[in-house]
Structure 1
């Protein structure tokens, strides 16, 4: 490994969305330290955590229109058929839904699961329930993207949680996204749901760790079955 690769792997890039928050945590640390010295070190721990939270590592993304790649880092919390939220206007038939839950230590940059054009982006106010609960899909505040992909409409839903109170989406309707391309983030823990049209079969199971931009969540194959798993 070259020196440049070592530096890149050691000092992970920070997304620009985090600069203001990192600066705010640092200034707060100085003020707290002025009041009482030990508080400065507590503030610095939180500042370092903020830097860690906004990290934006490089990812190696498989480029295949038959694959669905994870939009988020975290734990696969649900895999199965589910009726999509009404505002997506995708009908009332159940679709394959794969959910990835992000905790406060996960990378929070969200990436496109497939290649396609954004036809619709919609934000819906809601509650801030625990994002691991199934009802969070329809009751929590969320931001949804509909992607016109090779195999039909794919929906990506950013869902706020107990701690996350700010969903960021810098893409806009009409944008063409490549698989694995960054489109937004959620501050400070939450979940992303992906709804897939007929023909896709899951390639992950509940409890698996997913890596945004790298982990294959599903494959387009009408004859495929969901995988069996072993815990070891």
Structure 2
């Protein structure tokens, strides 16, 4: 293999990555896609029709995905930080116009993640028909647990997905309630962009999203995948 001799005018940023369960190796993150309102009950609580309309997406920077452990910082510019528990999918292969029947062949592994949302900023963006970036794509907005390879756990298609704050249950649902299952989500994204190895997908959240306060302790999990636990930091 030829060494990369490219010269850069500034030092390249470190490669964003996710831990892999029971391994020293890490999974390099290329892009992060997030599915909006992919559980019917959550769509209703957000005031939307949960019928199976085409899915919509937003993105996060790769380095917004951080380890869901220790303390996750409370972000600036918000007084209403919300939790959204999600099944996270990591792709080990890419493709364009992938069929749902072939889509799961692209998956390398799964993790438990939380899409943190500055809800007050999102509400303003919605009212003004502006992008959601400032509400969704901030630093450390995607705390996630380690990836579990498909070779070990298979493809989780049903099972509880839940989140608690200070021991109190906030969100609970089942993976079989996804309006657009993982295979369909992958296929749909591949119609718009060519997926690549290293792409990560947050697949949507069940009902019960709510506010987090500094000092809150978050525990969450997906049956068959794993559990995470972290504390919310103090406002800067």
Q: So what's the TM-score if we normalise by structure 1?
A: 0.28
Structure with larger RCO (C-alpha < 8 A, sep 6+)? 2
Q: So what's the TM-score if we normalise by structure 2?
A: 0.27
